A = this chain, B = another copy of it.
Amino acid sequence: MPYDRQVAMLLREAGLTLALAESCTGGLIAGRITALPGSSAYFAGGVVAYSNRVKEQLLQVPPSLLAEHGAVSEPVARAMAEGARLLLGSDLALAVTGIAGPDGGSPEKPVGTVLIAVADRSGCKVERFVFSGDREQVRKQTVDQGIIMLKKRLEASKRS
């Protein structure tokens, strides 16, 4: 079974809802989640937070975090996930922030650097990836990896 169907099944079984906050994927994860009929049962909604303004005003990411760590950072990914969960009143939230390229890379944060966070009531887990490929490939891998992280989180909370 593809991962997105497994995520859908796990959310349904557990009666949990999901929110999304997407920067570099720009809505593609929401697009994948809502590709499945009946997704409105567990999909609370999403925010495409491309600008810092949206991250601050909608997701309540503290401006100090953005200034100190940059938008593509572990603390901002975490704050985006927690902010989306609050804003959309969901049980879980997935957030991604990254540099899809071709511009915006640096030696410390090369193009392909992506942070993915999953928040639920027990806390928030963030992972850092450096994907290779062009803009489309980086975005695609981010979508896939985000869905894998959701699946893992849902499986872990099922066991506990």
Contact = CB atoms under 8 A, between A and B. Distances in A.
A135 B48 contact: no
Interface string A101-143: 1110000000000000000000000000000000110010000
A26 interface: yes
A37 B50 CA distance: 12
Contact of A44 (B27, B33, B39, B51): B51
Interface residues of A, number: 39
A37 B103 contact: yes
A14 interface: no
Interface string A23-55: 011111111011101111001111111110110
A22 interface: yes
Q: How many copies does the complex hold?
A: 2
A11 to B, nearest CB: 13
A88 interface: yes
Contacts of A148: none
A154 interface: no
A155 to B, nearest CB: 24
A102 B37 contact: yes
A34 B40 contact: no
Nearest to A25: B31
B47 A46 contact: yes
30 contacts: A20-B27, A25-B34, A26-B27, A26-B31, A26-B33, A26-B35, A26-B39, A26-B43, A26-B46, A27-B27, A27-B30, A27-B48, A28-B31, A30-B30, A30-B48, A31-B31, A34-B50, A35-B135, A37-B102, A37-B103, A37-B135, A38-B103, A40-B51, A44-B54, A45-B51, A45-B54, A45-B58, A46-B48, A46-B50, A58-B87
